[in-house]
């Protein structure tokens, strides 16, 4: 029987097709079931960006089976961390949640060569987020 997750994280970007999917993929890959992971978008796309899928596969993280999801107030309320990636005012604010805004370039319409640096920046931020969550649990 596994313990309850240390925290719950929701990644939000407009289309839930690139940045938020890559972030969710990295967090799931690096933290396993220690952290509950969600992603959503205010205007979800029809599919995850193929260049994002390819870029993630290059580093051993498979997000090919993911589908863009609509952002709901329930998802926000169920999360400890809400990390926005360019959704602006589309994200409602609830007390008691930790909100972070990661200014990341939008990979929409870009080839895999242009998506790699965005992917690598997301991984760096995910590693720092895991360290922060672990530190809070030990405090």
pLDDT value at position 1? 42
Q: Is 87 a residue of the active site?
A: yes
Torsion of CA 14, 63, 6, 127, to 10 degrees: -90
8 A C-beta contact, residue 50 and residue 124:
no
* pLDDT for 137 beyond 90: no
Active-site annotation holds for 91: yes
- From 51, 87, 118, 133, the catalytic residue: 87
pLDDT (0 to 100) of residue 2 = 56
The model's pLDDT over 94-109, given as tens digits with 9 standing for 90+, comes to 778 899 999 999 999 9
**pTM (two decimals):** 0.93
| The pLDDT of residue 90 | 59
Q: Which of 37, 91, 104, 133 is catalytic?
A: 91
Architecture of domain 7-137: 3-Layer(aba) Sandwich (3.40)
Query: For residues 87 and 45, is the Cβ–Cβ distance under 8 A?
Result: no
Among residues 7, 13, 22, 71, which one is catalytic?
13
- Establish whether 23 is a catalytic residue: no
Find, among 129, 135, 83, the residue nearest to 104 by Cα: 83
For the segment 109-131, the average pLDDT, to the nearest whole number, is: 97
pLDDT in tens, 20-59: 999 999 999 999 999 999 999 989 999 999 999 999 999 9
The proportion of the chain whose per-residue pLDDT surpasses 70, expressed as a percent, equals 94
Indicate if the pLDDT at residue 80 is higher than 70: yes
Q: Where are the domains of the chain?
A: 7-137
């Amino acid at each position: 029987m596994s313990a309850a997750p240390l925290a719950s994280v929701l990644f939000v970007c407009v289309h839930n097709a690139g940045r938020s999917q890559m972030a969710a993929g990295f967090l799931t890959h690096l933290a396993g079931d220690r952290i509950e992971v969600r992603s959503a978008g205010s205007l979800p796309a029809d599919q995850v960006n193929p260049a994002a899928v390819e870029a993630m596969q290059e580093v051993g993280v498979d997000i090919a089976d993911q589908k863009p999801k609509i952002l709901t107030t329930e998802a926000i309320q169920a999360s400890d961390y809400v990390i926005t990636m360019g959704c602006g005012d589309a994200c409602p604010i609830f007390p008691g949640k930790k909100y972070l805004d990661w200014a990341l370039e939008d990979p929409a319409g870009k080839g895999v060569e242009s998506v790699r640096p965005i992917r690598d920046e997301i991984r760096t931020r995910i590693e720092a987020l895991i360290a922060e969550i672990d530190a809070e649990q030990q405090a």
